[in-house]
Amino acid sequence: MPRQLQPELLDALPPEHPDAVHSRRDLRLINAVMGNHRWMARTLAGVRRPGERTLELGAGTGELGRRLASAGQPADGLDLAPRPADWPAGRDWHRANLLTFDGYGRYDAVIGNLIFHHFSDPELAALGRSLRDSPVRVIVACEPTRSRFSQRLFAFVAPWFRPNPVTLHDAHVSIAAGFRADELPSLLGLRQPEWSCRCHCTMLGSYRMVARRT
Which CATH number fits the domain that encloses residue 61? Answer: 3.40.50.150
Q: Is 121 among the domain residues?
A: yes
Q: Is 159 among the domain residues?
A: yes
Q: Decide: 65 and 88 in contact? Cβ < 8 Å.
A: yes
CA distance 209 to 198: 6
Helix (H) or strand (E) holding 109: strand 109-113
Q: Is 1 among the domain residues?
A: no
Name the DSSP letter for residue 133: T
CA 19, chain centre distance (Å): 21
Strand 109-113 vs strand 138-144: parallel, antiparallel, or unpaired?
parallel
Q: Is 203 among the domain residues?
A: yes
Q: Is 98 among the domain residues?
A: yes
Task: Provide the domain count of the chain.
Answer: 1
Nearest-CA neighbor of 208 among 190, 185, 188? 185
Global pTM reads 0.95
Q: Is 175 among the domain residues?
A: yes
CA distance 153 to 170: 15
User: Can you give the pLDDT at residue 56?
Assistant: 98
User: Can you give the pLDDT at residue 92?
Assistant: 97
CA distance 129 to 139: 13
pLDDT along the chain (214 residues), means of 10: 94 93 95 95 95 96 95 96 94 97 98 98 98 98 97 94 95 98 98 97 97 97
Q: What is the domain extent for residue 127?
A: 9-213
N-term to C-term CA, the chain: 32
User: Can you give the pLDDT at residue 1?
Assistant: 79
Q: Is 70 among the domain residues?
A: yes
Residue 71: other Cβ atoms inside 10 A: 15
Residue 201: other Cβ atoms inside 10 A: 20
Q: Is 3 among the domain residues?
A: no
CA distance 186 to 34: 24
